[in-house]
């Protein structure tokens, strides 16, 4: 930057070079607006180890100078280390009793420190890096605000696996997705004629920000919230996609009333099928029919 300003001053002082001034200014502008050296790619590697990664995500990992990893398993970290010599796990930032928001902020800071140091950084997340994940969105936003190149590469999310394993087409009757605790804490308008997918159900009612699991008492509160729209014997599915190629997905069907007593972990998602049929809107149908009569197809 200092050298560019210097070049500009030289041109300004030299009569012979005065006609070159616009070009010099143009060049200076181009140099000063070109992004600084560091860059960030947040990539997803899917859910099932080894088989979900896209060629683009692999390429970002292999060509980065530094790779950060927030993945589901130590085995996944070992697999990443075969692709790159400098893989730094951000998993140790989690700690018992520490607020999750603090952990996420530290993740973002660790990633951005390397971007600011001018490095080509790849941050690897399991699943899709933009789905129910705060840190990748935040890191990209901050990096861009500071003038660095930053983007997200999508990955296969647990949502994608859910559609495949449970045979759900979200377009057939619609599909609503909520974080379980947010669903409990706020009054949401549920449409029981569509699917309801509750994420982080193993953390149902966790509003303190520093616990990694909750239990039967919190799930009983969840049941009461669900009871506004679903009967207690309504069947739900606890779903966990296979994370290793040797595993089978968990697809456990049970009445909602049994939720408090079952084992759930951080990777479980609750899928609740529609409890009633789609309700036709006769008024809209009549208006559309009138339009069809007025304008011949
Ligand atoms: C912090 S979110 C991360 C989601 C991740 N970004 C994705 O694309 O799937 C964690 C939640 O995702 C869901 N999830 C993660 N892994 C899963 C799996 N193997 N099977 C089903 N749901 C999963 C669960 O609801 C879990 O509580």
- For ligand 1, what atom is nearest to the CA of residue 240? 20
> Does the structure show a pLDDT above 70 at 217?
yes
> Does the structure show a pLDDT above 90 at 21?
no
Q: Choose, from 58, 88, 100, 105, the residue flagged as catalytic.
A: 100
**What percent of the chain shows pLDDT beyond 90?**
84
Place of tokens 């899917």: 46
pLDDT top residue among 247 and 72: 247
Look at phi and psi of residue 46 and say left if phi exceeds 0, alpha if psi is from -120 to 50, else beta: left
- For the chain, how many residues are written? 297
Beta bridge partners of 240: 250
CA distance readout (Å), 266 to 37, 260, 294:
37, 15, 56
**Is 4 within 8 Å of 31 (Cβ atoms)?**
yes
Record the pTM. Answer: 0.88
**Is 259 within 8 Å of 185 (Cβ atoms)?**
no
Beta bridge partners of 175: 195
> Does the structure show a pLDDT above 80 at 29?
no
Q: Using CA atoms, how far apart are residues 185 and 61, in angstroms rounded to an integer?
A: 38
Q: Determine how many CB atoms are found less than 10 A away from the CB of residue 33.
A: 8
pLDDT top residue among 72 and 57: 57
Q: What is the pLDDT of residue 4?
A: 32
Q: What is the pLDDT of residue 18?
A: 39
| Cβ partners under 8 Å of residue 32, min gap 6 | 1, 4
Catalytic site residue 126?
Answer: yes
Q: What is the pLDDT of residue 37?
A: 92
What's the 132 CA to ligand 1 centre distance in angstroms? 8
Q: Choose, from 126, 148, 230, 239, the residue flagged as catalytic.
A: 126
Lowest mean pLDDT among 18-32, 66-80, 188-202, 219-233: 18-32
Catalytic site residue 138?
Answer: no
> Does the structure show a pLDDT above 80 at 25?
no
Tell which residue, 239, 107, 227, 82, has the closest CA to residue 162: 239
Tell which residue, 220, 195, 193, has the closest CA to residue 270: 195
Place of tokens 């060629």: 55
Catalytic site residue 94?
Answer: no
Average pLDDT in the chain: 90
Q: What is the pLDDT of residue 32?
A: 52
Q: Using CA atoms, how far apart are residues 141 and 146, in angstroms rounded to an integer?
A: 9
Place of tokens 């309801």: 196
Band the pLDDT of 212: cuts 50, 70, 90.
Answer: confident
Q: Choose, from 104, 148, 230, 239, the residue flagged as catalytic.
A: 104
Lowest mean pLDDT among 160-169, 208-217, 262-271: 208-217
**Is 38 within 8 Å of 148 (Cβ atoms)?**
yes
Lowest mean pLDDT among 21-30, 166-175, 259-268: 21-30
**Is 265 within 8 Å of 94 (Cβ atoms)?**
no
> Does the structure show a pLDDT above 80 at 296?
no
For the stretch 150-170, pLDDT in tens is 999 999 999 999 999 999 999
Residue bearing the CA closest to ligand 1, atom 15: 267
Q: Using CA atoms, how far apart are residues 176 and 199, in angstroms rounded to an integer?
A: 11
191: tokens are 């449409």
Q: Using CA atoms, how far apart are residues 23 and 37, in angstroms rounded to an integer?
A: 24
Backbone angles phi, psi at 45, to 5 degrees: -115, 15
Residue bearing the CA closest to ligand 1, atom 16: 267
Band the pLDDT of 77: cuts 50, 70, 90.
Answer: very high
| Cβ partners under 8 Å of residue 239, min gap 6 | 162, 165, 166, 249, 250, 251, 252, 268, 269, 270, 271
Q: Using CA atoms, how far apart are residues 159 and 270, in angstroms rounded to an integer?
A: 11
**Is 274 within 8 Å of 235 (Cβ atoms)?**
no
For the stretch 85-143, pLDDT in tens is 999 999 999 998 899 999 999 999 999 999 999 999 999 999 999 999 999 999 999 99
Q: What is the pLDDT of residue 211?
A: 87
Local structure of residue 98 (DSSP, 8 states): S
Our answer on whether the CB atom of 158 is closer than 6 Å to any ligand 1 atom is yes
> Does the structure show a pLDDT above 60 at 257?
yes
Our answer on whether the CB atom of 157 is closer than 6 Å to any ligand 1 atom is yes
């Amino acid at each position: 930057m200092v050298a560019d300003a210097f070049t500009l001053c030289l041109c300004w002082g030299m009569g012979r070079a005065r006609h070159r001034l616009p070009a010099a200014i143009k060049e200076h502008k181009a140099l000063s607006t070109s992004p600084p050296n560091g860059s960030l790619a947040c990539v997803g590697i899917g859910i099932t180890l080894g088989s979900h990664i896209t060629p683009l995500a692999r390429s970002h990992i292999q060509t980065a100078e530094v790779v950060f990893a927030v993945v589901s398993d130590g085995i996944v970290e070992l697999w990443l280390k075969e692709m790159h010599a400098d893989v730094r796990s951000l998993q140790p930032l989690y700690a018992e009793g520490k607020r999750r928001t603090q952990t996420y902020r530290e993740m973002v800071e660790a990633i951005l420190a390397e971007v600011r140091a001018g490095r080509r950084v790849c941050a690897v997340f399991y699943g899709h890096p933009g789905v129910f994940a705060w840190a990748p969105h935040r890191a990209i936003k901050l990096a861009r605000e500071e003038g660095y190149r930053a983007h997200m590469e999508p990955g296969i999310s647990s949502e994608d696996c859910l559609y495949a394993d449970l045979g759900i087409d979200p377009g057939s009757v619609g599909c609503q997705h909520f974080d379980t605790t947010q669903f409990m804490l706020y009054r949401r308008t549920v449409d029981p004629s569509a699917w309801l997918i509750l994420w982080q159900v193993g953390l149902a009612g966790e509003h303190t920000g520093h616990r990694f699991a909750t239990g039967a008492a919190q799930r009983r509160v969840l049941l009461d919230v669900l009871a506004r729209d679903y009967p207690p014997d309504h069947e739900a599915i606890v779903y966990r996609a296979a994370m290793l190629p040797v595993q089978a997905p968990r697809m456990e069907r049970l009445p909602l009333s049994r939720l408090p007593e079952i084992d759930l972990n951080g990777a479980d998602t609750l899928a609740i099928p529609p409890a009633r049929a789609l309700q036709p809107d006769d008024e809209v149908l009549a208006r559309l029919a009138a339009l069809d009569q007025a304008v011949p197809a």
